[in-house]
Amino acid sequence: MALTARVDLSGSICIEDGCKKIVFNDTTGNLVSVCNDEQNDLGYGLVGGIASASITKAILNVYYPSMTTPYIFTFTVANKVITAATLTDLNSVVTNILTKLVSTVFPLVDFDTTLAAYGVTLPALTDGRIEWDYTISGVHSSENFSYTTSDGQLADCIADCCIEKKYVDLDPTCGCIDDKIKSIIMSEILLWGARYSMNVGQDDKTDSFIEKANEICDSNCEDC
């Protein structure tokens, strides 16, 4: 059957372990009816669309904050099993990571892009926008296909941790407590500004808000 419908290819990245781990999930889902007769109408297996078993290759590009070159994860797939996997670093060095994968099941679920076992030195994750794009390709009924999706996630652990620590360290007897409170509140407002800006795709404002939140929190009055 020729391809007449396009799956809603989608994914998500979660930042875990205090901004030390970046985990990717293919969230496209399958065309599965449930008890109330609802279904994922745009998942793998839709009529006139591709099945996950038709995918032969997947590429995940992950851009760390302020970086324009990604870390590239490339997967060769056969019948929903990853048969080859490589990680290309910022210097275009390619490392075979197949034997280091926690799972070779495809589509990707809870795929840790920062696993130390890969043997590749990754940069420390700073606050800012993590951008990613995800491409799948293959053959369905002798017809080639390729779909791409992309999104971003805000890393804000440093600012969030700084603000939390400033709250905990507040001393009512300190002479500059009013200044401390003002700085904390300002940092918190800026952090939420970064989060909301990220949600609506205002990249420049996101960058400015998160940078200013860290700057103000770091410079909070330290007299006592």
pTM, rounded to two decimals: 0.88
Mean pLDDT (the chain, rounded): 89
Order of strands across the sheet that contains 81-88: 94-96, 81-88, 71-78, 55-63, 128-140, 143-155
Per-residue confidence (pLDDT) for residue 39, from 0 to 100:
56
| Mean local confidence (pLDDT), 182-205 | 95
> Which helix or strand (DSSP H or E) is residue 14 part of?
strand 11-16
Give the residue extent of every domain in the chain: 11-155, 157-218
pLDDT band of residue 34 (cuts 50, 70, 90) is low
pLDDT in tens, 140-187: 888 899 999 999 999 999 999 999 999 998 888 887 888 889 999 999
* Strands in 79-188 per DSSP E: 81-88, 94-96, 111-112, 128-140, 143-155
Count each helix (H run) and each strand (E run) in the chain, helices first. 3, 9
Phi then psi dihedrals of residue 136, to 5 deg:
-120, 150
* Of 48 and 159, more confident: 159
Task: Quickly tell me which residue has 């065309």 as its tokens.
Answer: 31
Position 37 pLDDT exceeds 80? no
What per-residue confidence (pLDDT) applies to 224?
A: 44
- pLDDT value of residue 7: 85
Residue-wise pLDDT tens digits, 113-140: 998 889 998 888 999 999 999 999 999 8
pLDDT above 90 for 219: no
Q: Model confidence over 79-112: pLDDT tens digits?
A: 999 999 999 999 999 999 999 999 999 999 999 9
Strands 11-16 and 128-140: unpaired
Single-letter residue type at 157? C
